[in-house]
Structure formats: structure tokens, C-alpha cells
Amino acid sequence: MTEGVLSLAELDRVAWAEWESMGGPAADVPARLRALTSADPGHRHRAWEWLGTHLYHQGTVHPAAAHAVPFLLGLLAEGGTPDRERALGYLTRLVEPPSEDGATPPAGGPPDDGAARRAVAAGARAVLPHLDAADPSTAGAAAELLAWFPELASVSLPGLRRLCARRLPGRERTTALIALGALAGAAGTRSDAALLERLLGDRADPDRWAAAVALCRITAPDQLPAAVAAMVAELAAVNVDPEGYERVWRTRFHDNHVAGLLAATLRQLPGERGESTRDVVARQLGEPVAAPDDVAAVASGLVVDALGDVATVASGALTPWQRAVLGALPGADRAWASGELGPWLTSAYGLPGTREALAAWLARSG
């Protein structure tokens, strides 16, 4: 057993009754963990359901979870559960920070997210072999989990590079690419940028947006305009048909919230990229699509992606991404043609409802 990893044989050494789960003292945890090794899929499913409601539920990680983590890692290390993908996904839910906007994994040092995260970090090396799992779903789940540990980038990157070189289904491929970018960025290495630039250059590749997200994590603050363009184009596709887009699983990160991942990346754009990003947005709004209503939907969607949920908008406090989106609107002829964009800007954000007034409002802030 590696550091931070425990065998189920050691379960009774923990004073479970002293630790809280959602239902009170966690005395039932040992039985649930042992059930994860059952040959009966039903028994295992019920055990996972219990762990998912009693140790982690709706964003709340209960104290007993940290003491269960070494045993879950032990099951992964020993091959003790057939549900490796589920185990990895469960551990990820324990460590990823709550987010409504799909924030990407941290680029800096490890955050202090509590006892459960520290417990996973202590035994995270047990996850590394699963990057080479024959099952792509298991490998993708391992990539997602390891992406949240930039402190382990040096030991995770070799496995992630091997994984990215494999032929993977879309969801696992995008997850591996984003994890690669996050950890390469954290490690301060640009050796993976060439691979991502090649993918970004292939306009037929459906995962260009993921390569763009990854590349921005490696090259920040020198993001390539082509990466920005790929992300804006994908956001446009989301905003034209959000329900249809979300019916396809495109990534593991934040439960397939692609728009949030893209917006979170674009919000990190440095100031010197604001002007070129505005040009990218303007070109996207000028693309021929089915109808003016669709252009208006793309425009309003990009505004929401940029501004989020704010009560008022101060022109002097706009970020580069916000200024780029709003700055592209006055020149977007087809976005105004439906007559819906102006009233919506005023009702949703209190912004000027005509292109001329919006341009003047932006000019006043410099």
C-alpha cells in the first residue's frame, strides 16, 4: 500500500461513530465500503448510492468522508471494486470546488479545500496507473480527478500524454486534453503546446474547443487569437441550441457544462487581448446563420456568458472579455435586426437599448 491508502482490513481501526455523516454518526460506513467489493452489481449500486447521499450530498462533504477516502483509494490500488470509474468520479466530487460557471481546474498551487481533499491528495498516486486503463471511461475519470491536483503535475503529465495519444471517445478525449493543459500550465511547461496547436488547426476536429481551453492554460497570458476564436465559435453553437447541445456528453468536467468551461477560460483573458477578442466576437456575430433571431440568441448568450448574474453593469469596471463582447455588439447588424436584442439588454442588465447608445456608453469609460 502506498502512502495515504488503506486496505479494507483496517476499517475497524477507525472510530466511525465519532465522525458525522448526513444521517448522524457514520457507523454504517464500514459495511457500505465492504459492499463495494460485492460480486452483485445491485449491492454495489446501493452502497454507492448511500455513500453519495450520506458522505457527499448536493455539494456538502460530511466529516466522515475524509476517513473513507483512504479505503476508496485502497480499493482502486488493489482492484477491489469493479466500479473503478464510479470510484474515481466519486473522489472527484469530493475534491472539486463548488461552481455554477464550470471553472476549470486550478492553475496555481493546491487550494485548501478541507480534510477530504487533503485525504485524496495524500493517496492520489494510487490513481496514476488508471490513466493507462484499457477502459477509456476509467482512464478519463482518472484524468478528471488528477487535474485538480496541480501539485502532482510532474508525475501526472507522463500518463496524461500517453492518454492523449490514444484514440478516445469524445468525452474522454476532451477531459484528457483539458487536464493536460491545466497541469502543464501548473508545471510551467510549454512542451505540450505543439500538440494542442495542431488540434486547434484542424477545423474538422470536433474537440478544437477543448484544445483551445487547454492551450490557454499553458500559454496564458499569451493566448492565441485562434484559440479564442474556437472557444467563441463553440459558445455560439451552445447558444443557438442550448438544450440540443447539452444532450451530448462532451466532457466530464463540471457535468458536461461546456459553456461554463469556455466562459471561465475567456474571463481570464488579459487586457492586451481585449481588442483582438472583440474582433473575434464581431466576426462570429457576422457569420451567416439561419435567421436574425439566431444571431440575437448568440449575441445575448455571449453577453450572459460574459456578464453572468449581476444586478448592474459599470462600464468602468468591465473585464477584457466583457468589454470585448459588449464592444462587438454595436457593429453586429444582424443581431439587432430581430428587434429583440436592445430591449433584452435593458431589461436584463440595464444597458442602453440601441447600438448608438451602447457605443457611447462604452466610449465614456475609455
What single-letter amino acid sits at 54? H
Confidence label for 73 from pLDDT (cuts 50, 70 and 90): very high
Between vectors from CA 108 to CA 105 and to CA 109, what angle results, nearest 5°? 105
Least confident of 123-137, 140-154, 208-222: 208-222
CA distances from 308 to 11, 63, 195, 251, 325 (A): 46, 33, 32, 22, 12
CA distances from 309 to 51, 100, 195, 302 (A): 33, 11, 36, 13
- The pLDDT of residue 313 is 81
Predicted confidence (pLDDT) per residue in 230-278, tens digit: 999 999 999 888 888 888 999 999 888 898 889 888 888 776 666 788 9
Q: What is the CA radius of gyration of the chain?
A: 23
Structure-model confidence comparison of residues 313 and 291, the more confident one: 313
User: At residue 1, does pLDDT exceed 80?
Assistant: no
User: At residue 2, does pLDDT exceed 90?
Assistant: no
SS3 content of the chain, % helix, strand, coil (to 5): 65, 0, 35
Least confident of 160-169, 176-185, 308-317: 308-317
Confidence label for 48 from pLDDT (cuts 50, 70 and 90): very high
- The pLDDT of residue 273 is 60
For residue 343, give the nearest of 335, 359, 354, 331 by alpha carbon: 354
- Could you tell me what percent of the chain has a pLDDT over 70? 93
pTM equals 0.91
What is d(CA 305, CA 322) in angstroms, rounded to the nearest whole number?
9
- The pLDDT of residue 174 is 97
Least confident of 22-31, 334-343, 353-362: 22-31
Determine how many CB atoms are found less than 10 A away from the CB of residue 282: 17
Q: At what angle do helices 258-266 and 292-307 cross, to 10 degrees?
A: 60
Mean pLDDT of 292-305: 88
> What is the pLDDT of the chain when averaged over all its residues?
89
**Phi and psi dihedrals of 25, rounded to 5?**
-55, 145
Mean pLDDT of 24-48: 93
Contact by Cβ (8 Å): 196, 215: yes
Confidence label for 293 from pLDDT (cuts 50, 70 and 90): confident
User: At residue 290, does pLDDT exceed 70?
Assistant: no
Mean pLDDT of 142-164: 96
